[in-house]
Chains A and B, each alone.
Chain A
Amino acid sequence: MSRSYIEKIAQRLGIIPNLDRDNARGAISQLRSFPSYEEWEGHTELDANEWPKKVEKNYSLVPTTCFNCESACGLLAYVDKETGQVTKFEGNPHHPGSRGRNCAKGPATINQINDTERILFPMRRTGKRGSGEWERISWEDALDEISLKIRESLKSGAKDRVVYHVGRPGHEGYANRILKSWGVDGHNSHTNICSSGARTGYALWQRHDRPSPDHSNAKVILLSSSHLETGHYFNPHAQRILEGMMDGAKLIVIDPRLSNTASMADHWLPTWPGSEPALFLAWAKIILDMGLYDLEFIEKWVNWEMWLENDHPEAEKSVEVFIELLKNEYKDYTPEFAAEECKIPVEQVIETGEVVARAGSRLCTHVWRSASIGNLGGWQVSRTLHLLNVLTGSVGTEGGTSPNSWSKFKPELFDVPPDPDGWNELHFPPEYTLSHYEMSHILPHLIKDGRGSMDVYFTRVFNPVWTYPDGFSWMEMLQNENAVGCHIALSPTWNETAFFADYVLPMGHASERHDVNSYATSSGKWVAFRQPVLREFARREGREVEFTHEVNPGEVWEEDEFWNELSWRIDDGTMGIREHFMSPYREGEKITIDEYYQYIFERVPGLSEAAEKEGVDELGYMRKHGAFLIEEATYKKHEEEGWPTPSGKQEFFSTTMVEFGYPEHSIPHYKIKSHVHPENLTGEDEFCLLPNFRLPQHIHSRSANSKWLSEIAHRNPIWIHPSDAAKLGVEEGDLLKIETEIGWFIDKIWVTEGIKPGVIGCSHHIGRWRRKQDQGNRYMTNEVEIEEIGDGKMRMRTVEGVRPWLSEDPDTNRIWWRDGGVHQNITHAVQPDPISGAHCWLQKVKLSIPGEDEKYGDIVVDRVKSFRYYKEWNLWARQRETHPRGERRPLWMNRPLPPKKENWFIEESG
C-alpha cells in the first residue's frame, strides 16, 4: 500500500503510530480446503484478528466427532500449541460420513466448550431436591457414595432398580455392557418419543428398524421428514440429497408445514397429519395398476405365500396371483380416497404417485419421526412407506433404501457379560407387547400407578422434565425420594432435569470424551473415534495422562472412565463385577480406556493393514485420522444374509401381529385413524398442534449454551395460517391461548402461508427455563416461577425473559434478544400408542384469546387430568394384551439390553 507523503511524515514525526505493514502476498496456489494430513501435527495459520499484521499461530489438529446430534460428523479440533487450548473446530476431511463439512452445530461446539456457565465440577445437593442448593464434591466422593448405593440395590437381589436413562447415547454399546456387568435390566432411552413409531413399522417388515437411503444415486427421494434441516442424519444426508438432486433426482416432501426441506422440494405434499398411510397405499395401488413392481424381488424376498395361506387358502400359490389379490385388497385406496384423507388435490396424488412408481430400484424413502411419531397408529406410516420400496424393488439397491444395520459397524467388545436375569416392567410393561424400545415417557405414570420404583436413577444427556410431555409429572416423580432413591444427572450442562438431581456430574463434550461411532449415513460403512483432544495433544507432546478429567476444563470427565471406576467400586470383591473390567492385554490388571478402544479397533476389518502402513497401532491410527472407511458400499446384503425375520423374508404378512392380538393389522393397511384425524377435531376452535418440528441450528436441550446458535434462534411463536388467524381474530404478534388435554400455554403467533390451515406449529428446542435458584444456559432460558395452585394443578409464569449478564465473556453482555419462547412440551398429555408404544406427539388443541391476566409465557397443567388421560390410553393396550405361548413380546424382535431367555415369558398367575 503506498502511503501519502503526509502520512509518511506524520509517522516519522511520531504524531501518529507507524502502521506500515508487509503487503499481503496473496495465495500462491489454487485454494485448498483442508491442511493435508501430513501437516496436522504442526499446522500454521495466521491470526485472523491480528490480520493484516501477520501473526503466526501453531496448531496441532486433533480429530474427533461432533456430539451435537447422532450423526457424529467429523471435527478437527485446532489445539493452539502455545496455550494448549482448543480455539476452533473445523470439519474432518477423512470422515466418510461428513466428508469435511458440518452443520452450524459443528463449529458452534467451541461455544459449548467455553460456556462460562458450564458445570466444571461434580456437584451434590445440599438442600431438598430442586432447591437449587449445591456443593462441590470430589470425584472420589461421588464414586464412593454412588457405588455404595448401587451395591446396596444389587445386593438386595433386584435386577431392575438401578437404571441408566439415556437421551443421546453417542456411543456403541458401552453403557449396555456396563449394565450387563452389574446384572441389571436397567437401560431406558428416549427412543419412544423419537423413532419408536417408525421403527415399529420397519421392524415388522425386516427386523432392521431404520432405513438407510442411498440419496446420491437416487432417482426419486421421498421424505416424510425434514432431512435438509435436521434429524438423523442431517448433515450427511443433506449433502447426498442435494448431490442426488443435482444429478436429476426428484425430491418429494411430505409435511403439513413448509419446512426448509419442503421449500427445496419438487413436490411438497402438505398432508393432513396421520393420513400418510392412505397416500402411500394409494401410491402402492398406482404401482400395482401401472405394473411397475419388481416381480422378481417380490417373488423371492417377500413372504406373500404366508398371506395367501392365511387369507386366501384356496388361491393358487403363485406370485402373479398374489399380485392380483393384492390389487383387490387395496382397491379402495384410490387417489380420490387419499386426496380426501390427506386433504390435498387428487391431481397431486396422481402426479407424484407416478413419479414414485417410475423410480424403480432408485427410490429413496425416509421416515424417522414426523408422522410416524406424531400420530396414533403412526407405525403404519413406515410400514406403508417401506411397502413402496418393496414393490418397486428398491430395497437394498444402489439408489434405493437399505436397512441401516448393513452400513453400521458393530464393535466387538473385549468382554461381554451375561444377559441380565430379570425383566424391567417399568420399561417393558406386560401390556405393551409390541412396543419398540422402552415405554420411557410413561415412567412417572407407571410409578405413580404403583408399578415400581427405582433405587438409583442416572439421567444421561437426558432432560425429560423439559423435553418430554407432561414434565410436571416428571418433576413430581423426581422429587419423590420413594419413587427415585438417588438421582444422578450426567451432563455437560445444567438442564431442567438436573435441577432435580442429587448429584450432577459433568461429562465431556465432543472434544472431551471417548466414544466409537458408526452410523448409516450412506451405503458406505465407516467407524469414527471421538476422543478427548487435549489428551491426544498431551500424548503428542510426550505427556502421559491417566484420566481424561486431568486435561478437560475444570474436572469435567467422561462416562467411559467414570463407568469403569464406578463399576470397580461397586464390587466389594464378592459380586463378580470386577472380572468384567480386566485388561485383555495385561493379566490381572484393570482395563484402561486406551486398551478398551485398541481392542475394538484391532478388529475393524482393514484397519490393521491401514495402521501398519503408517507404522502405528490401530488405536494410533484412529487417534490421528479420526475415522476409517470399512466398506465403500453395502448393497444387497440380503443376498448373502437373508432377512432376520421368522420367515427369512420381508414380512408383508406379519404372523406376529396376528399372534399378539392384532389380526386386523396382519398386512400393511390404513386402519387406524390418527387421534388428530379431522373427525376428532369437530369444534371451530379445535386444531392440530404440530409441536415437535426442529430447527437446523439447535439440538434438543443441548445447544442452549451456544451463543452463536442461540443468537440465530431463540423464540418459538405459533405458526398459524392467515385464514385461521383471521377466524380467531388475531394478527401477527398477538397472543393465543393453546389448550391441550391437560393444560394450556400462552404464546405469540407467527402468521405464515407455510402451514396447512387447521394445523398450528410450534418449534421444539425453545422455551427453556430456570427458576430463581437455578443456573445455566442464560442465552436461552427465561426465568420462571413455578407453583402449585391446588387440585394437582401446576402453574409456571415467566418472570423475566433472556437478559444479558456480565462474565469473562464480553458476549454475554451483548445479548440483544429478550424472548426465550414458551415451554409448550410440559402441557402435552402423554399419548402412548398401544402397539408401538410411541408417544404420539401431535396434540389436539383448542385455541382462544387469552384472558385479562393471562400473560405471554403462562402455563398451567393439571396433573390429575394428565394421569387420568394416561390411564385412558393405557387401557387401549390392556384391552388387546395377548401373550402367545406366554411370551411377553415377540422373541424374534429386537429390544435393547435383551435379558436371558427365561425372562421373556410372563408367569402364569396362580
Chain B
Amino acid sequence: MVNRLLWTRITRDLRKRWIQVCIVTIILGIGTGAFWGLFSGVQWRIDSVNQFMDEYSLDDGIITFPQEYEVNYSDIIDTMARFPRLNEIKAWDVRLKCSIAYEFNSSDGLLVIRGYMYGLQAKSFSVSEVDRLALDEGRFLTVNDINKSRILLESTFCQAYSLQHLDNLNIRFPSLIQKVKLKGTVISPEWVILFDPESTAFSASVQFGIGYTLLQDLQAWSGLEDSINEIVFCVKQSMKDDSIGQSLKQFLEEEGYPCGYQRRKETPLIKTLEQQNKDDIDLMTVIALLIIFIALFALWISINRMITQQRCDIGIELSLGTNERSILFYYIFYGLIIASLGIIIGVIIGNFIGEATIELYMAYMLIPNLKKPILWDRLLQAIILGFLCSFLASFWPARKGAKMIPIDALRQDPALGGSSYKNPKIFEKILTKIVSFSLSSRIAARNIFRNRKRTIATILGISLSLALVIAYLGAFDSFIFLKDSYREDLGEWDIRVTFNVPVNNTLVPFVNDTRIAEINYGLAYFAEIQRKDDNNNQLIELKGYSGNLIPQKIVNGTLKQNMTSIAMSKKLANELGIELGEKVTLKHFSFDAAIGTTIIQTSLEVGFWHNRVSKLEVLVPWKKIQSMFNLTGSANQLLIRLTSDVNLSKFREYLYSFSFVRNVELREDLTRDLEDVLEMFQGLMQIIESLTLSLCFGLILLTAMINNSEREREHGTMMTLGASDMSILRISVWEAFFLSIIGILLGNFLGWLVLELMLMPAFQAAYTIYVIKTKIQLSTILLFSVLTLIIAITSQLGILRTLRKMELSEATKVRDF
C-alpha cells in the first residue's frame, strides 16, 4: 500500500527533475511505441497475407507449360478426361496467360505498362468454387458472358489509373490492338501469379496490372486460337501431400506434354511471402529490441544518477532505521511511474508508427483492403516490456544504494556524483595524452573515465542508434548499387525488344530504321542446368550475344565468338557446386513456329565466371547458341541504342506494331522492380531513421544534463576562478565530442556487422536471382556520423543557460552534514 508520504516524495522528486523525467519518458515512449507500432504494422501485413493465403486455397494447384509452348485447347481437354484420378479433383479449368501492355490515351502520350492477362474458361468451376477463390465482390466471367467482352481488373490498378466501371480500355497485344469494353471490377487473388517464377522482385507497383477475361476472347485477341498454357484445379479435400498434382504432371508428360506443377502453397510468391513474413518479423524484432535497449540505457542512467544524488538522503534514512526493502521499493516504484508515463506516450507514438507502417505496406502491396485491428497482444507485450525495462533499470542501482553502510552514504559528496577520478588505467592515460590538445580537452578526456559504467552505457546507446540507421541505410545503398549495376549491365542500350519467336536477322524490318544507332542481337532462352543426376534445378536464362560489335562484359576478358565454354554466375556456381572446367548439361527449350517446342540437350564446359547482377544468366557465344537451336542467323532479343532526340514512346509504339514483338522495355522499365523495392524501403527507413535519431538525441541530451548537474561545484569553482562561460562550455563540448567519436566508430562497425550478417543474407534469400553486394556509401556514413556529432555538441549548449543562472555562492558549497 503506497502511503501518502511516499506519493509526496515521488511527486517532489519528479517535479525537481522534470526535464530529465520528460526526456526519459519520451525515450521510453519511443521505445515501447516503436516496439508496438512496428510490430503492429508487420503483423497486420502478415495477418492480411495469411488471410489471403487461407482464402487462396493453398492446396490447389497449377499445371504450367513451358514458355513458348502453347497447348492445344481441345487436345488437352481430351487428355484430361483420361486422367485416372480425375474424380479426386473437384474442379479444374484451363487458361491462357499472356504478357501484355496496357495503353491509355493520356495527354502524355502512350503509356505502356506491363501486365498479364488471363483468359479463363470458367466452365467447370461452380459459383461456390469461384467464391472460394476469394473474390471480394463480383464474380469470374463464365460461358454465359460470351459475346459480352469484358475484363476484370484488380481494383488498386483501376484506382491508380482512374478506370471506371464500363470504361473502354485498349489492350495492346503483340499483334493486335483490341478495344475492349470493361465491365465490373473485382479483386481477384489470381493477380498474384503475376509474380511469375522468373521474376523474384517483390513488386507491388500498380503498373503491374492483372486482368481476367474469357478464354475465347483472349485467344482471339492474342491470335492464339485454341491455345492454352495453364491448367488450374481445386482438390476435393485438403491434401496433406501433393500426390494428385504430381500424378497429373506425370500423366501429362507421359502423354507428351512437357509441363511443370506447382501447388499454390509452393508457388514462389507464397514462399516469398512466407519468407518475407519471417524476415520482417526477424528484422522488426532486431530493430524493436535495439530501440528498447537504448530506452533501457536512458532509464538506467537517469535512475542511477538520481540514486547517487540522493545517497546522503539514503544514508539518513538508513541511520533512522528504514529497512533496505523500503528503499528498494521506493526507487523501483519511481521507475514504474516513469514507465507508466512512458507507456502512455508509447501507445500514442506506437499508434502513429503502426498507422504509418501499415499505410506504407498498403501503398506497395496489392492486398485486399482488410480491416486494421489493434493488435492487443503486441500492445500488451510492449507494455510488459516497458515495465520490465524500468524494473531492470531501477532494481540494480536501488539495491546497491540500499545496501550501503549508512556512514559511507552520509559522507558521500554528491557533487562528485559518486565518481572521483583516480587510478587511471594505462589505456586511459594514453588516450588522454593523445587528445590533450589543451587543458580543456584534457579535463574532458578524464571526465569520460570518471564514471566508466555510465560512459559505456552512453557510448553503447549512441552506437546502437547509429548502427540501426547505418545498417538500414546500408541495405538501401546496396539496393541502389544493385539497381545501378543492373543498368550498367545493360551498357548504353536504350531499349530491349523481345520477340515471340526467333526471327531471321535479315527479316527484322526495322533494322535499317534511321533512328537506330546500333543493334545487338541475342538469343535468350530458359534452360535447366543439370549435372550427372537429374536434380530439381531451377530454370536458368541462357543468353547469347553477338560479340562482334560490343564485347559482353564478364570478369575475365570478353565473351569471344569462338568460345566453346559458357560464362556462369559465380554465385550460381557456388550454389550448384560447379567448378571451373566442369561440364554441365544444359537442357533448353526451343520453339519454332513451324516445328513447335523441342527440348535440346547440350553439354558445355564452364569457362568463366560472369559478374553481372543477375545470377540466373548463363552466357554463351552468339554463334554457339544459334547452332544449338538450329537458328543460324536468327535472334529473339535485341538491344537497341537510338540516336539522340528520338521519342521513346512513339518508337515503342512503332515496335509493338510488329506481330512478332512480344515485349518492349525501356531502360527505366528494367529497373522498375528494384525501384519499387527501394521506394518502399525508403518509406520504412524514414520511420526507423526518425525513431533512432530521436532516441540518440534524447540519450545524448540526458547524459549531458546529468553530467552538468554533477559538475555544478566544479563549474562554480571555475567561474569563481574567473573562467568564462565559453571556456567551461568548451570542456563539455570536448567531452561530448570524444564520447560521440567513440560511439560513432563503434556504431558504424556494428551497423556494418548487422548489415553483413543479418540484413544482406535475408535480402539475398528474398531476391534470389540478383547478386546483391554490401555497399555502404561513404556519404551515408559521413552524413549520419556528422549528424550524431552535431547532436552531441549542440546538446551541450544548455550548459550556458545553467551557468548564467548559477548562484556561485551556492554552487561552490558542499552540503554541510
The answer to whether A and B belong to the same complex is no
